[in-house]
Structure 1
Amino acid sequence: MEKLGVSFPTISKFISQMEKSGEIILTGMDESNGGRRAKRYTYNPEYMLGLAILLERKESHYTIFNCKGEILEQGQTSSVLTGELQDLVQQIEHIISRNPKIRSVAIGVPGVVHHGRILYIPDYEQFQNLDIKSYLEERLPVSVVVENDMNAAVLGYQYNRRRQDRPSLIYLYFGQNGPGSGIMINGELVRGSSFFAGEVSFIPLYDHCNFQQALSAEGDQHQPHAQSKRVDAISRLIAAFTAIVNPHTIIFTKDEVNRALLIQIAEQSKTYIPKENLPELTASDWTQDYLVGLQTLGIGIMISESHN
């Protein structure tokens, strides 16, 4: 109390208010040391809940979580990217109506985001240049944070593994909306000066085409020739990332690669860059990493709101 500069009566008042509101729960009494027995409390993780929702072309995925990050509900709903903005509002309203303790909503989008405004999102004109954070906060009783899909995924991957060595990571996804990447250098997310970092589809890997065109120009991806071209394009991108960022690990989504394909990519990458410098290549659950990344952002705004 002396360090905080707060009196005992003031603290008692705050404790009483928090107990009355359900933010803390009485768990028992301390042993007596000759005076009045002290009460013991624990924080109620269900006092505030958060919603994480990722928007994809074909569907939306969501989780409802408590203050400790524990998942209370996980589900899938219809896509809103190709519909009206009001569809997204109604979708969130429906979830909140069943879970009125939701205080924060973290939304992931396949586009470039700056402080809640979507600056670049190809194919979804109604979301282009939309301040989706303000749009939702004006219509819903929650605080909103918005993040690029791949930035959230690399945040979630790192959070799940709790690496303490401040790793440099690249998360690659070819996806429903074209390729993208999340970049983490020395444990810090890299968004770039105009928040465009990670938009790898534009990288001109060949004289005649960029990375996205190289992935999509070969027709049937199951044909041997098309597969070798795809492997070469990915390997060139890995070589570029290795020379510029020199990451510890490059992560693919497990739905897009298998062990044999990772070996092929690693072997082809060695033709472009010395093998001792190549990162570890691995695969992970993109949807879960993405949702966990959004959850960490949602918990962050829950905590900041509770301190205001």
Structure 2
Amino acid sequence: MSPITNNTMQVKKMNLELVRQALKSMKQGTKSMVAQATGLSVATCGNMLNELLDTGELFELDLEESSGGRPAKLYQYNVNYSYIACMIIQAGVETHSLNYRVANLAGETISEGGLEAAQMNAGVIEEEVDRLLSLYPQIRAVGIGVPGAVYEGVINLCDIPELVNVPLMDRIHEKHNIGVLIENDMNSTVYGFYRKQEYEEDKSVAVVTFVEGSFPGAGIMVDGHIHRGNTRFAGEISFLPFGMSREEQLRQLHNRDTFPHLSAWAISSLIAVMNPETIALTGSLIQPPDVQMIRLECLKYIPEMHVPQLTLLEHPEEDYMYGLITMTLESLSYSLQLVEKRR
């Protein structure tokens, strides 16, 4: 394929994505309204709208009323044109769980459910993907959240050892030819938490979890963007130099006398490095009185003016799933960076 042909195809894909996003935002609109929202010409928008209409990605509604002349056609995006499936994997003391949600392109729930298993391995996850795709063949992407570090689609550190070093992303993609996103649970949670706040400007926030039977972890947003780090290891706060073995760290985290002190060390480190506006605390080891105790411990190391708001996140699964759904939907969108530079 020649460079000119390739560039033309890229521009077309980006124009289509601009039109999609415009209609999703407007709910419905005319060709002129879409042109105004995207900055594209009316003629280009007409071509894009016709193409999306032919594939069923758009609906053509009743003609818009006009004060005179020919009435304009009205278009609406078909949010049920395709679906995504998202699964959150959680490690338990005796059993592990998998909770899923099938959603349309507006993020609205089509179906949800889950299962528990003493052994959670790639086979269990793949069987669930197979089942959901057989029920909903219009699924275009799968998002999987895991309690561990993920690098290039492979889990390299996890509270569920059976999932480590398994090329799960490639296996699902090759079998079903769909998009696959595998994301750290805390990254998904902090993204969901952040998006729900609807900040008017970019902020820095973190979500820190302390779960029974597991090491702590954190999801980090810096200036409105997830901070994953060079090898996607950011947020693995259990590897901070606490001056003790990991076995001793786990023991002290599960001791009510030492928990506030040890957790405050980790949180103080986050404050010193990222200076966030808010840190949300969650997990089965956190109790409501701990929030104030941890804050007082942090004040031993951090000047008060720099200590962020500490809050208790009581239902992290909601933010986890919301974040994963949002990220999976975003993975379907063709990159608009070149368009933004061009405009």
- TM-score, normalized by length of structure 1? 0.85
User: How far apart, CA to CA, are the structure 2 residues paired with 1:247 and 1:32?
Assistant: 51
**1:206-217 residue pairs with structure 2 within 5 A?**
207-210=243-246, 213-214=248-249, 216-217=250-251
1:37 aligns with 2:37: no
Quote the residue 2:52 is aligned against.
Answer: 18
User: How far apart, CA to CA, are the structure 1 residues paired with 2:60 and 2:172?
Assistant: 36
User: How far apart, CA to CA, are the structure 2 residues paired with 1:103 and 1:261?
Assistant: 43
- Contact 2:122/2:166 (CA < 8 Å) preserved in 1? no
Deviation string for 1:239-273 (max 9, x for gaps)?
Answer: 22222221111111265434322111112222222
1:270 aligns with 2:277: no
Q: 2:158 aligns with which of 121, 145, 168?
A: 121
Q: 1:261 aligns with which of 279, 282, 290?
A: 290
- Sort the Cα spacing of 1:229 and 1:139 in 2 relative to 1 into closer, same or farther, 3 A: same
**1:171-182 residue pairs with structure 2 within 5 A?**
171-175=207-211, 177-182=214-219
SS in 1 for 2:258: helix
SS in 2 for 1:267: helix
Give 1:164 shift: 2.6
User: How far apart, CA to CA, are the structure 1 residues paired with 2:302 and 2:333?
Assistant: 45
Quote the residue 2:194 is aligned against.
Answer: 158
Give 1:90 shift: 1.3
Spell out structure 1 runs of 4+ moving beyond 6 A. Answer: none
User: How far apart, CA to CA, are the structure 2 residues paired with 1:123 and 1:16?
Assistant: 48
Q: 1:136 aligns with which of 167, 172, 182?
A: 172
1:63 aligns with 2:101: yes
- Return 63-72 or 193-202, whichever deviates more: 63-72
Q: Which amino acid aligns with 1:75?
A: G
Q: Which amino acid aligns with 1:172?
A: V
User: How far apart, CA to CA, are the structure 1 residues paired with 2:264 and 2:123?
Assistant: 42
Quote the residue 2:18 is aligned against.
Answer: none
Q: 1:228 aligns with which of 234, 244, 257?
A: 257
Quote the residue 2:238 is aligned against.
Answer: 201
Give 1:83 shift: 4.1
Give 1:137 shift: 0.5
User: How far apart, CA to CA, are the structure 1 residues paired with 2:214 and 2:259?
Assistant: 17
User: How far apart, CA to CA, are the structure 1 residues paired with 2:134 and 2:105?
Assistant: 19
Give 1:36 shift: 3.5
Q: Which amino acid aligns with 1:151?
A: N
Give 1:91 shift: 0.5
User: How far apart, CA to CA, are the structure 2 residues paired with 1:5 and 1:247?
Assistant: 42
- Return 250-259 or 268-277, whichever deviates more: 250-259
SS in 2 for 1:64: strand
- Contact 1:110/1:177 (CA < 8 Å) preserved in 2? no
SS in 1 for 2:233: coil
Structure 2 gap ranges (5+): 1-34, 336-343
Quote the residue 1:288 is aligned against.
Answer: 318
- Contact 1:48/1:302 (CA < 8 Å) preserved in 2? no
- Sort the Cα spacing of 1:5 and 1:137 in 2 relative to 1 into closer, same or farther, 3 A: same
The alignment yields a C-alpha RMSD, in angstroms, of 2.6
User: How far apart, CA to CA, are the structure 2 residues paired with 1:123 and 1:60?
Assistant: 12
Identical-pair percentage = 27
User: How far apart, CA to CA, are the structure 1 residues paired with 2:291 and 2:150?
Assistant: 31
**1:289-304 residue pairs with structure 2 within 5 A?**
289-304=319-334
- Contact 1:116/1:146 (CA < 8 Å) preserved in 2? yes
Deviation string for 1:61-95 (max 9, x for gaps)?
Answer: 11221111222333222348x34423211111212
1:72 aligns with 2:110: yes
Q: 1:191 aligns with which of 228, 242, 248?
A: 228
- Sort the Cα spacing of 1:163 and 1:213 in 2 relative to 1 into closer, same or farther, 3 A: farther
Structure 1 gap ranges (5+): none
SS in 2 for 1:69: coil
User: How far apart, CA to CA, are the structure 2 residues paired with 1:238 and 1:218?
Assistant: 16
Q: How many corresponding residue pairs?
A: 293
- Contact 2:193/2:323 (CA < 8 Å) preserved in 1? yes
Deviation string for 1:161-182 (max 9, x for gaps)?
Answer: 1213321112111235421111
SS in 1 for 2:98: strand
Give 1:96 shift: 2.1
- Contact 2:210/2:284 (CA < 8 Å) preserved in 1? no
Quote the residue 1:145 is aligned against.
Answer: 181
Q: Which amino acid aligns with 2:132?
A: I
- Return 156-165 or 170-179, whichever deviates more: 170-179
Give 1:304 shift: 2.8
User: How far apart, CA to CA, are the structure 2 residues paired with 1:188 and 1:161?
Assistant: 14
User: How far apart, CA to CA, are the structure 1 residues paired with 2:256 and 2:214?
Assistant: 20
Higher fraction of helix:
2
- Sort the Cα spacing of 1:203 and 1:149 in 2 relative to 1 into closer, same or farther, 3 A: same
SS in 2 for 1:165: coil
User: How far apart, CA to CA, are the structure 1 residues paired with 2:245 and 2:286?
Assistant: 23
Quote the residue 1:27 is aligned against.
Answer: 61
Deviation string for 1:71-124 (max 9, x for gaps)?
Answer: 2333222348x3442321111121222222211111111221123122323542
Quote the residue 1:91 is aligned against.
Answer: 128
SS in 1 for 2:328: helix
